[in-house]
């Protein structure tokens, strides 16, 4: 059952147009094959409203019980269902945040009004779990967080998926790289659980696994701060809801790769009825808030006079009529239509983004489109086809490493203000090139074309059996380019090196294809009157194919040439990698009185990256859910609903490409004949990292379900975590070998509280609060006597401490002479036992963990007169430390802090002054607590009266004004407590390192929403 990783000549996949034509043809054929409608078919229509305020309830699912006919209410709460059989039927209405409602009606009845009561518990809500048909939350023994995306996007300044997920689900932490438009983020779910492997959750779109790489983009972008995340390709406007499964206890059915959680994205679908058009127009601005006060004053020597002087380059530029950072424009336009018949329904959408960052060369130009079709050719079958496409270019400014606007501004140098003869310097005080110099020289961009498509067939051959088959593909074509044309402008030539002046082009093309095949079946039947049974089984095949081509050229003969073939020195290479996972599972659930549910399951997986001596891996699960409040004996005042739940489950994560396989490297042999030499030793016994988790919790409703509480405790252990060990030279191979060894533990709590504090005719106040904690610890490094593994600059994996923590000597005292100069050898460091020892013999100590141990958000929303809604979010992250690379470069490396020039003023802080004067030998003073609280979102939305909307031909209209990243409270020493390198030499692990990156930007956006 093994599928070994292969490498060789590149192959191309089929185009998305062919796939789309085939899917459309299949749907039309199915619709044409549908049998004639029965004679007694009729229509139902009406409105769904909230019981007390009578405001419309949008997005409610209205289903005819016992039939396949259903509809989703529009923004006015209206629904229409055609093709209803019989003379009288029962309508079932479901909506997240409301109690399930049923209503008996006569077929043909119109003007139906169905009232729903708000509920903060929603145990009857159906979620996607991996089994055919989904499952009600009351049956699940694990936590699943569901986000109503459509409502959030209408109100808040959400421009990408990172913004959408941030702080909205407990246990899910978003770690952004930079504030540049188009920039990416990491996603961490329930802590760090690996020492070596990627830790992004699995992403599914309409049942298809999609690419989730966090750090892509131009290949020479410093340490990985200026990264683009594939997750942000998905347009939030097209999403109906998101479901988040947070750990192995819930993700067993998703198998290998699922140990970091699963995010299910469900896109919008059409509803039967006439065509409805929805238009969204956004216009806004983005800026580097208060940068004139946030950028430091630096110190140095005046080149002409030799005096010690300070420089505030931001003030100097403003006085000269120049701005270092501009105010960028945000523009997006989205248009969708949906409708159809009971047999065929459609959702078609298109959008365009035209964003500008705070640097002129930071832009997003992106188009996206989506077509979703649903067909019901027979009463026992429906077919759903989804196709999404995104194309565009993201231009990124040079950042981090050794160049760019932030680099040259943050580290401004007084020595660059004047030349030795007293003339003004061409650098104007900037550290290296001027901002316009970097824009003249460097272009960095990523072009992307991405298609994601799926066909899902749901079949119900009997009233007790449901089966589902999903086929899909996610195809991404990236072109990552950095170009420096040959320079010929005399104003800029002195700012750059000879290599930069000659010009170059580096290009990396990545073509990644994910293919998914997923079959599942569920048989549901009653064993006795009060005992139900649900048996599920399924199989999946996932294939990832990556085709990589890289090329580089140096030395253009003249400016204006940009192709690699125009350079004098050229090089290149290509490779491809393939990864296949095959898995099968079975699950059995028994229900008692529709309130106690016990579930057990087992999954078996094989993956092409497993070693050839490693057999199948098995992942068990068991869970229980008990709706105690449905028991006759339940009598607790103020508690209107209570579900207790418990779950245990296992998942895994496969090794990286080629790590299990012995490889050889081609080299020139005698007579320049090609031959090979040993490369990597491989490890035929290499297997997956295994995640095992216990989850305990409860869901409760209070005060007639006006308040809902979800509480979860989790204890997650990762076994067989991968590490590197040295290879004995006698094997004929050099270097290191991957092996399964370490054990990591994460445990914590997650709390979500939401409810309605005030509910009156014209006033409603909703409040939501989520909190989570995470304790992370390396239990073992797998080798007796091995307690420490160096993991990066100032970063170690140490037994008994969090993964990738900061470890360095801690200076506590030093002696200085009368001039404030350090007396050599006087530095004293913490000995780890409450005492002091000379720093030369001091141990490295734990200085802090790199990821937050606590995070949460408070989200109030006030609705007035059913028309005015004021909503906001304040979120926080705490319990972690970051390395302030700005402080390191300015003070320890370049010597441009005041401490470097007037040390006698700082002798009262001998520990810090000693670090400054030792020039980076000691760094504990730059690894600081990065805890913060941020006013993340604030919005005002006004729903226009229908009579006003009708004047422009619309049935509904709303306008919102929203701000983002409006204020931050923090004691962190750097510019941005959230910024982090996502890749490169200092961002590939778990450590958070900030250095000369654009911070999270403030923004205001006005959005107009119209429905026709």
pLDDT at residue 38 above 70?
no
| Residue 502 confidence (pLDDT) | 97
- Mean of the per-residue pLDDT values for the chain? 89
Contacts of 306 (CB under 8 A, 6+ apart): none
| Residue 1 confidence (pLDDT) | 39
pLDDT band at 401 (very low <50, low <70, confident <90, very high): low
pLDDT at residue 920 above 80?
yes
| Residue 735 confidence (pLDDT) | 81
The answer to whether the CB of 414 falls within 8 A of the CB of 299 is yes
pLDDT band at 219 (very low <50, low <70, confident <90, very high): low
Strand 763-773 relative to strand 736-759: parallel, antiparallel, unpaired? Answer: antiparallel
The answer to whether the CB of 619 falls within 8 A of the CB of 602 is yes
pLDDT at residue 541 above 50?
yes
pLDDT band at 451 (very low <50, low <70, confident <90, very high): very high
The answer to whether the CB of 664 falls within 8 A of the CB of 679 is yes
| Residue 983 confidence (pLDDT) | 61
pLDDT band at 986 (very low <50, low <70, confident <90, very high): low
The answer to whether the CB of 597 falls within 8 A of the CB of 625 is yes
Q: Poorest-confidence range of 106-115, 128-137, 845-854? A: 128-137
- Look up residue 192 and give its two tokens: 């760090």
Contacts of 280 (CB under 8 A, 6+ apart): 154, 237, 332, 333, 334, 335, 1007, 1008, 1009, 1010
Residue 915 φ/ψ, nearest 5 degrees: -65, -40
pLDDT band at 14 (very low <50, low <70, confident <90, very high): very low
The answer to whether the CB of 1012 falls within 8 A of the CB of 954 is yes
The torsion angle over the Cα atoms of residues 521, 578, 655 and 165, rounded to 10 degrees, is -60
| Residue 40 confidence (pLDDT) | 53
| Residue 325 confidence (pLDDT) | 97
Q: Poorest-confidence range of 156-165, 869-878, 935-944? A: 156-165
| Residue 17 confidence (pLDDT) | 43
For residue 610, give the nearest of 497, 689, 686 by alpha carbon. 686
Q: What is the mean pLDDT of residues 295-321?
A: 95
Taking the CA of residue 788 as centre, how many other CA atoms within 13 Å lie in the half-sphere pointing to its CB? 12
Q: Poorest-confidence range of 21-35, 230-244, 885-899, 904-918? A: 21-35
pLDDT at residue 801 above 50?
yes
Q: What is the 3-state secondary structure (H, E, C) of 508-530?
A: EEEEEEEEEEEEEEEEEEEEECC
> In which element (H, E) is residue 543 found?
strand 531-554
The answer to whether the CB of 888 falls within 8 A of the CB of 926 is yes
pLDDT band at 813 (very low <50, low <70, confident <90, very high): very high
What radius of gyration do the chain's Cα atoms show? 30
Q: What is the mean pLDDT of residues 444-464?
A: 95
More confident residue, 910 or 126: 910
What is the Cα–Cα distance from 693 to 745, expressed in whole angstroms? Answer: 10
For residue 75, give the nearest of 806, 964, 949, 974 by alpha carbon. 949
The answer to whether the CB of 699 falls within 8 A of the CB of 123 is yes
| Residue 7 confidence (pLDDT) | 36
pLDDT at residue 578 above 80?
yes
Residue position matching structure tokens 């207790």: 644
Q: What is the mean pLDDT of residues 985-1004?
A: 78
Residue 408 φ/ψ, nearest 5 degrees: -75, -20
* DSSP conformational letter for 488: -
For residue 591, give the nearest of 139, 181, 176, 216 by alpha carbon. 139
Strand 112-116 relative to strand 41-50: parallel, antiparallel, unpaired? Answer: parallel
Give the total residue count for the chain.
1012
695-723 tens-digit pLDDT: 999 999 998 888 999 999 999 999 999 99
Determine if residue 30 is left, alpha or beta; phi over 0 gives left, psi from -120 to 50 gives alpha, anything else beta. alpha
Residue position matching structure tokens 């104007």: 428
pLDDT band at 255 (very low <50, low <70, confident <90, very high): confident
More confident residue, 864 or 678: 864
State whether residue 393 is helix, strand or coil: strand
What is the Cα–Cα distance from 913 to 146, expressed in whole angstroms? Answer: 51
Q: What is the 3-state secondary structure (H, E, C) of 210-268?
A: ECCCCCECCCCCCCCCCCECHHHHCCHHHEEEEEEECCHHHHHHHCECHHHCEEEEEEC
- Look up residue 909 and give its two tokens: 């802080």
| Residue 891 confidence (pLDDT) | 96
> In this prediction, what percent of the chain has a pLDDT beyond 70?
94
Taking the CA of residue 428 as centre, how many other CA atoms within 13 Å lie in the half-sphere pointing to its CB? 19
């Amino acid at each position: 059952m093994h599928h070994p990783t292969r490498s060789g000549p590149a192959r191309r996949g089929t185009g998305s147009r062919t796939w789309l034509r085939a899917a459309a043809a299949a749907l039309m054929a199915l619709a044409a094959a549908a049998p004639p409608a029965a004679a007694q078919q009729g229509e139902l229509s009406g409105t769904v409203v909230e019981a007390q305020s009578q405001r419309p309830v949008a997005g409610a699912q209205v289903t005819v019980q016992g039939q396949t006919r259903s509809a989703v209410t529009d923004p006015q709460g209206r629904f229409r269902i055609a093709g209803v059989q019989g003379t009288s039927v029962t309508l079932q209405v479901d909506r997240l945040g409301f109690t399930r409602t049923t209503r008996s009606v006569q077929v043909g009845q119109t003007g139906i009004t169905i009232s729903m009561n708000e509920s903060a518990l929603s145990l009857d809500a159906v979620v996607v779990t991996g089994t055919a048909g989904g499952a009600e939350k009351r049956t699940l023994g694990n936590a699943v967080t569901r986000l109503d995306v459509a409502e959030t996007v209408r109100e808040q300044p959400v421009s990408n998926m990172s913004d959408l997920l941030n702080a909205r689900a407990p246990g899910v932490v978003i770690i952004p790289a930079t504030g540049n438009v188009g920039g990416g983020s990491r996603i961490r779910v329930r802590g760090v659980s690996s020492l070596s492997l990627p830790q992004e959750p699995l992403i599914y779109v309409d049942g298809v696994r999609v690419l989730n790489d966090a750090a892509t983009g131009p290949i020479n972008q410093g340490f990985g701060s200026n990264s683009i995340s594939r997750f942000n390709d998905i347009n939030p406007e097209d999403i109906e809801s998101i479901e988040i499964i947070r750990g192995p206890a819930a993700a067993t059915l998703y198998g290998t790769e699922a140990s970091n959680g699963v995010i299910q994205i469900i896109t919008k679908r059409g509803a039967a009825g006439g065509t409805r058009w929805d238009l969204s127009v956004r216009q806004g601005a983005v800026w580097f808030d208060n940068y004139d006060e946030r950028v430091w004053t630096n110190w140095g020597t005046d080149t002409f006079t030799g005096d010690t002087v300070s420089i505030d380059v931001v003030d100097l530029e403003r006085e000269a009529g120049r701005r270092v950072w501009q105010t960028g424009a945000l523009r997006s336009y989205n248009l969708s239509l949906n409708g159809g018949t009971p047999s065929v329904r459609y959702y078609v959408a298109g959008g365009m983004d035209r964003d500008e960052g705070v640097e002129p060369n930071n832009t997003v130009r992106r188009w996206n489109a989506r077509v979703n079709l649903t067909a019901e050719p027979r009463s026992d079958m429906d077919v759903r086809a989804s196709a999404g496409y995104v194309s565009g270019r993201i231009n990124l400014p040079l950042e981090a490493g050794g160049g760019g606007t932030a680099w040259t501004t943050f580290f401004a140098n007084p020595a660059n203000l004047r030349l030795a003869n007293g003339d003004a310097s061409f650098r104007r005080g900037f550290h290296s090139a001027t901002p316009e110099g970097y824009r003249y020289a460097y272009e960095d961009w990523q072009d992307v074309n991405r298609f994601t498509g799926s066909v899902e067939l749901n079949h119900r051959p009997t009233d007790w059996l449901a089966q589902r088959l999903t086929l899909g593909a996610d195809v991404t074509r990236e072109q990552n380019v950095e170009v420096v044309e040959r320079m010929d402008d005399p104003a800029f030539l002195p700012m750059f090196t000879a290599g930069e002046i000659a010009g170059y082009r580096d290009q990396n093309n990545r073509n990644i294809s994910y293919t998914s095949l997923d079959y599942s079946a569920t048989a549901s039947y009653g064993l006795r009157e009060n005992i139900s049974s649900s048996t599920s089984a399924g199989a999946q095949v996932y294939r990832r194919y990556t085709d990589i081509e890289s090329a580089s050229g140096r030395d253009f003969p003249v400016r204006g040439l940009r192709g690699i073939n125009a350079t004098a020195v050229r090089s290149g290479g290509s490779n491809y990698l393939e990864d296949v996972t095959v898995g099968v599972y079975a699950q059995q659930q028994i229900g008692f009185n529709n309130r106690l549910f016990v579930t057990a399951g087992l999954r078996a997986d094989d993956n092409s990256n497993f070693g050839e001596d490693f057999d199948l891996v098995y992942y068990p699960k068991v869970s229980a859910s008990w709706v105690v409040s449905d028991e006759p004996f339940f009598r607790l005042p103020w508690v209107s609903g209570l579900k207790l739940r418990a779950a245990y489950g296992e998942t895994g994560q496969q090794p990286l490409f080629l790590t299990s396989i012995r490889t050889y490297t081609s080299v020139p042999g005698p007579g320049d004949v090609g031959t090979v030499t040993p490369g990597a030793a491989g490890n035929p016994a290499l297997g997956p990292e295994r995640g095992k988790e216990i989850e305990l919790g409860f869901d409760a409703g209070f005060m007639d379900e006006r308040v809902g509480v979800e509480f979860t405790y989790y204890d997650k252990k990762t076994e067989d975590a991968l590490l590197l060990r040295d290879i004995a030279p006698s094997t004929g191979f050099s270097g290191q070998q991957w092996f399964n060894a370490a054990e990591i533990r994460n445990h914590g709590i997650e709390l979500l509280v939401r409810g309605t504090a005030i509910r009156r005719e014209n006033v409603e106040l909703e409040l939501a609060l989520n909190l989570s904690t995470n304790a992370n610890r390396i239990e073992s490094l797998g080798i007796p006597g091995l307690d420490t593994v160096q993991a990066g600059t100032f970063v170690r994996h140490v037994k008994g401490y969090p993964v990738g923590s900061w470890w360095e000597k801690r200076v506590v005292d030093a002696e200085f002479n009368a001039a404030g100069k350090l007396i050599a050898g006087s530095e004293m460091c913490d000995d780890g036992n409450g005492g002091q020892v000379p720093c030369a013999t001091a141990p490295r100590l734990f200085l802090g963990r790199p990821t937050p141990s606590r995070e949460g958000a408070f989200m109030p929303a006030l609705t007035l007169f059913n028309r005015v809604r004021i909503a906001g979010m304040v979120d926080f992250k705490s319990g972690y430390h970051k390395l302030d690379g700005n402080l390191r470069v300015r003070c320890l490396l370049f010597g441009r802090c005041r401490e470097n020039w007037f040390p006698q003023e700082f002798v009262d802080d001998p520990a810090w002054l000693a670090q400054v004067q030792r020039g980076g030998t000691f760094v504990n003073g730059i690894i600081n607590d990065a805890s913060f609280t941020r006013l993340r979102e604030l919005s005002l939305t006004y729903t226009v009266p229908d009579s006003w909307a009708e004047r422009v031909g619309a049935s509904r209209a709303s306008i919102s004004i929203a701000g983002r990243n409006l204020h931050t409270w923090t004691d962190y020493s750097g510019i941005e407590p959230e910024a982090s390198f996502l890749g490169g030499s200092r961002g590939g692990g778990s450590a958070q390192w900030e250095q000369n990156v654009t911070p999270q930007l403030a923004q205001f956006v006005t959005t107009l929403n119209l429905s026709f």
